[in-house]
Amino acid sequence: MEMAPPTAEWWRQAVVYQIYPRSFADSDGDGVGDLGGIISRVTYLASLGVDAVWLSPFYPSALTDGGYDVDDYRDVDPRLGTLADFDEMTAGLHASGIKVIIDIVPNHTSNRHAWFREALAAPKGSPARDRYIFRDGRGLDGAQPPSDWASLFGGPAWTRVPDGQWYLHLFAAEQPDLNWASREVRDDFLATLRFWSDRGVDGFRVDVAHGLAKNLAEPFEPLPVTEHAGAAFAPGTHPLWDRDEVHDIYAEWRQVFNQYDPPRVGVAEAWVHPSRRTRYASPAGLGQAFNFDLLEANWRCGEFLRVITDDLADTQQHGVSTTWVLSNHDVVRHATRYALSAQDDLSSIGAASAWLLSGGVSPEPDRGLGTRRARAATLLMLALPGSAYLYQGEELGLHEVADIPGDRREDPVFWRSGGAEKGRDGCRVPLPWAADGPSFGFSADAAHLPQPAWFGPLSVQAQEHDSASTLALYRQALSWRRKLQAAENLEWMPGTNGQVLHFRRSGGWQCMTNFGPRAVPLPHGTLVLASSPLQEGLLPEDTTAWIVAPVTDATPGQSSLPHRTGGIPNGTDTSRSRGKGVHGRRESRRRPEP
Ligand code: NOJ
């Protein structure tokens, strides 16, 4: 029998559903999602079949950066609820077998945090200022910022305070960077980890995990505006990103995590070279790290093959598990990325940014194609070994909303760039729960970001009883995934080529994706799920199928496999007997495209 993962490592192959709380469900009619809204949808989350939820920040915040500007790490924004609501939500999710991961934002506080207020009121050189990164300016009277570094959100990374000093903020001016060389800062975060772990939180998603340790020895070197360490520095030595010392911080966090049963887990948001990622995911560190390589890949067979083989090789070499992500609250939804015609010189993310700037009209997205490919990509991702992160609304096949009027936009990326970047509001538009009504069932009133009319037909209500819907596909996929889950590896099947990816997990679970124009035969076995209907028994373009085939080797576990056909979207042809199977990113890759 395949061994179930030990409970202590429940996360290794978990499906985690990201909730962006202000846009998930609103229980009190103010147009902003809240914890009561999540409580009211626990049944929905359970019916989806996810193992855990990750909540983006719900802390008190002025919302300069959607809650990633935290005023108080140990409280709930009163607009979203109370600590009692949080406890009720956690209890409800746990009772449904769903674990809870919360976002922790250690690189920066908000400018309304008690510490930052104290720092502003305190003199130069005071302990209160030493919790942040204050420096004198350059030039006459220190009127020039200490360096020419730019914020990732646009504009300078330094802001001057009334007594003439400057403070560092790699993101918005309202997000002052903390000084992680300070013992007090470190201890306070350990206390925050304990605070939430004591309340039953199972894990932490660590925002900007690669940014905490900094080398701020002067003179400061000019640096490009990027979250990547880049090739100009030896690995681990960039002044701002992915420094080796950052792992000393996570070793301390691990000591706290291991005081709980099961041990708490962290998942690093670390935009680092794949070869550096596994250190964040080490058992001596956080345990998991986001792998954004699929999210950055174009919908091309060769790119997907390369990402999957490289990432599995990296993680296997280091004995850690991997994660997969196609969408989150920071990027254009994958249904829309795949709806844009691929441009050779642009990654899918780059092409999507250009498309957003055009107001969502150039190129004209082919939504049907995007949805078809997104379903195929998701089914492929869910068959891979490791953990999969889903973003709220992708189970409805939601597309990006591109035409949000400027005066309704919330993202600092839009405001700080003077509109030169559209920002991330288009994937944060509140979810449609009902086919009509005010804000499509999200709230009793209008939603905080405007929803387009086309949300109605994509609502939960509209899809709930449609077995061909994207919602039904996700439910079926998660249910089958639980039954078929196997050891954390895969075997590429003969015939994987420039058009088709075909792999097998132990126990006989096979996944085949056809990226090319020619429909191809499926391998021998029982078809359990397909992302789009078959064509005369063949797997058509932009379609993924899961097949359960009797294992021919001595792999144990056959007895637990289902031997029936089930969960096929309407119109899927399962009647045929199946023949033999056929089959930009930023830094270097080891394997050429086939
Ligand atoms: C990464 C988060 O995902 C993003 O939403 C946020 O703006 C930045 N970190 C800054 O906290």
Instruction: Tell which one of 23, 64, 68 to mutate to probe ligand 1, the residue whose CB is within 8 A of the most ligand atoms.
Output: 68
Q: What is the CA radius of gyration of the chain?
A: 24
Q: Give residue-wise pLDDT tens across range 10-36.
A: 999 999 999 999 999 999 999 999 999
Say yes or no: CB of residue 427 within 6 Å of ligand 1.
no
Q: Give residue-wise pLDDT tens across range 515-565.
A: 999 999 999 999 999 999 999 999 999 999 999 988 765 443 332 223 222
The helix (H) or strand (E) run that includes residue 255 is helix 246-257
Nearest CA to ligand 1 atom 11: 68
Say yes or no: CB of residue 103 within 6 Å of ligand 1.
no
Instruction: State CA 49 to chain mean position distance.
Output: 18
Q: Return the closest-CA partner of residue 481 out of 512, 514, 505.
A: 505
582 class by beta-carbon count within 10 Å (0-12 exposed, 13-18 middle, 19+ buried) = buried
**β partners of residue 338:** none
Q: Are 493 and 397 in contact (CB under 8 A)?
A: no
Nearest-atom index, ligand 1, CA of 412: 7
Nearest-atom index, ligand 1, CA of 153: 7
Task: Tell me the mean pLDDT in the region 148-160.
Answer: 94
Say yes or no: CB of residue 104 within 6 Å of ligand 1.
no
Instruction: Tell which one of 23, 330, 411 to mutate to probe ligand 1, the residue whose CB is within 8 A of the most ligand atoms.
Output: 330
The helix (H) or strand (E) run that includes residue 18 is strand 15-19
Report pLDDT for 510. Answer: 98
Global confidence as pTM: 0.92
Nearest CA to ligand 1 atom 6: 68
Q: What is the whole-number distance in angstroms between the Cα of residue 309 and the centre of ligand 1?
A: 28
Q: What is the whole-number distance in angstroms between the Cα of residue 207 and the centre of ligand 1?
A: 6
Report pLDDT for 587. Answer: 30
Say yes or no: CB of residue 68 within 6 Å of ligand 1.
yes
Report pLDDT for 346. Answer: 67
Token representation of residue 517: 């124009």
Q: Are 238 and 230 in contact (CB under 8 A)?
A: yes
Q: Are 68 and 412 in contact (CB under 8 A)?
A: no
Instruction: Tell which one of 65, 73, 153, 295 to mutate to probe ligand 1, the residue whose CB is within 8 A of the most ligand atoms.
Output: 65
Token representation of residue 49: 């079949």
Instruction: Tell which one of 208, 325, 327 to mutate to probe ligand 1, the residue whose CB is within 8 A of the most ligand atoms.
Output: 208
Nearest CA to ligand 1 atom 4: 330
Nearest-atom index, ligand 1, CA of 328: 3
Q: Give residue-wise pLDDT tens across range 44-70.
A: 999 999 999 999 999 999 999 999 999
Say yes or no: CB of residue 65 within 6 Å of ligand 1.
yes
Report pLDDT for 553. Answer: 53
Q: What is the whole-number distance in angstroms between the Cα of residue 208 and the centre of ligand 1?
A: 7
H helices within 53-123, ranges in order? Answer: 83-95, 114-121
Write down the residue that tokens 């991330």 correspond to: 424
Nearest CA to ligand 1 atom 2: 207
Task: Tell me the mean pLDDT in the region 362-376.
Answer: 95
* DSSP 8-state class, residue 3: P
Average pLDDT in the chain: 90
Q: What is the whole-number distance in angstroms between the Cα of residue 341 and the centre of ligand 1?
A: 28
Q: What is the whole-number distance in angstroms between the Cα of residue 69 and the centre of ligand 1?
A: 9
Distance CA 255, CA 433 (A): 41
Task: Judge whether residue 584 has pLDDT over 60.
Answer: no
Q: Are 454 and 444 in contact (CB under 8 A)?
A: no
Task: Judge whether residue 588 has pLDDT over 70.
Answer: no
Nearest-atom index, ligand 1, CA of 108: 11
* Residue 15: C-alpha distances to residues 31, 44, 398, 475 (Å): 29, 15, 19, 12
Distance CA 88, CA 374 (A): 34
Give the number of other Cβ atoms within 10 Å of residue 7's Cβ. Answer: 8
Nearest CA to ligand 1 atom 3: 330
Q: What is the whole-number distance in angstroms between the Cα of residue 467 and the centre of ligand 1?
A: 36
Phi, psi for residue 90 in degrees, rounded to 5:
-60, -45
* DSSP 8-state class, residue 70: -
Task: Judge whether residue 574 has pLDDT over 60.
Answer: no
Q: Are 414 and 403 in contact (CB under 8 A)?
A: no
Percent of the chain with pLDDT over 90: 83
Q: What is the whole-number distance in angstroms between the Cα of residue 253 and the centre of ligand 1?
A: 21
Say yes or no: CB of residue 105 within 6 Å of ligand 1.
yes
Task: Tell me the mean pLDDT in the region 83-104.
Answer: 98
Percent of the chain with pLDDT over 70: 91
Residue type (1 letter), 343 = Q
